[in-house]
Amino acid sequence: IQLTQSPSFLSASVGDRVTITCRASQGISSYVAWYQQKPGEAPKLLIFSTSTLQRGVPSRFSGSGSGTEFPLTISSLQPEDFATYYCQELDSYPPTFGGGTKVEIK
């Protein structure tokens, strides 16, 4: 399964509502996870089981979707949210990651 994230680059302002979409090359019957990676840092798990927030992750992050389309939404972008976001599918062995979406400050 190949994952395509769109957009690959996003320029937004603090307070904006942002949606990143992870599209699968075929339907996913299992789940999707989302990771956030800031420059020079390791990835951080944000969401697992498609829509469950990892402990400590702010509620402005939400995940949803099914089949081939899985959106990650940030309801009100904060300065600390500027980072690269990766989706991961769990249908394949091994699971694969999307190519990433870089969110930058407008």
Partner 1 sequence: EVQLVESGGGLVQPGTSLRLSCAASGFTFDDHAMHWVRQVPGKGLEWVSGISWNSGITGYADSVKGRFTISRDNAKNFMYVQMDSLRPEDTALYYCARDKGSVFNWYFDLWGRGTLVTVS
- The three-class DSSP label of residue 79 is helix
Residue type, 103: V
Contact in structure between 43 and 102 (CB atoms under 8 Å) = no
| Site track for partner 1 across 37-56, x = CB under 8 A | ----xxxxx--xx----x--
Q: Which of residues 77-106 bind partner 1 (CB under 8 A)?
A: 86, 88, 90, 93-100
Q: Does 10 bind partner 1 (CB under 8 A)?
A: no
Three-class secondary structure of residue 63 per DSSP: strand
Binding interface with partner 1 (CB under 8 A) = 33, 35, 41-45, 48-49, 54, 86, 88, 90, 93-100
